[in-house]
Amino acid sequence: MEAIAELRAQLHAHLSSMYATGAVDAYFQQLQELDEGSGGTGYVAEVLNIFLNDGDRILRDIDALLNQPLHEVEFCKVDALVQQLKGSSSTVGAKKVNLPCMDFQKFYVAKNKKGCLMTLTLLKGDFCDVRNKLQTLMQLEQQIASLRREKICWGGALKGDAGHHLAGKSKVHLGGIGCIFLEVAIQ
């Protein structure tokens, strides 16, 4: 099906761009290989969605901590949250998020609120960029999977019933392979 081939080409170009721009690294490739080895069960999409949801929450929490007066900022909590984001970004291969997390350390160790806020702004932008790229990747993969299922359902069902003689029948079952069952009225 040419739609699948076109989407695969878009997916390949998108992945190449993600590696070329440093959004992801070899750990991301290893994560993808896990999904391929599990028969495409959606494991990677689930892990990436957890990373994205946790990342959003962590960035909101860091923002809330740093928007306190300087004497009330709990830099040890900022440290713990940054370390958590660093670990999860490393696990999924989100290199572009991992690097600013490492830069963050010098500012919260020095209790430099201004430096932390500046780095947080950069980190939010990098996280947003990675999130958009990962969401696009997951959407392309989902579209490809959907077209494959559609091809299997419609292709198999129609081929199976195509040889039936329709004369004298009021309805023809157009089948289904665990998908949608259709009957078409013959007029």
pLDDT digits (tens, 9 = 90+) for 118-155: 999 999 999 999 999 999 999 998 898 888 877 666 55
Amino acid at site 18: M
What CA–CA distance (Å, rounded) separates 109 from 164?
A: 76
Please give the chain's pLDDT, 187 residues, in tens: 688 899 999 999 999 999 999 999 999 999 888 877 666 667 888 999 999 999 999 999 999 999 999 999 999 999 999 999 999 999 999 999 999 999 999 999 999 999 999 999 999 999 999 999 999 999 998 898 888 877 666 554 444 444 344 444 444 333 333 333 333 333 3
Domain boundaries, the chain: 2-152, 156-185
Cβ–Cβ under 8 Å, residues 74 and 113: no
Q: What does pTM read for this prediction?
A: 0.77
- Report the CATH fold assignment for 2-152: Four Helix Bundle (Hemerythrin (Met), subunit A) (1.20.120)
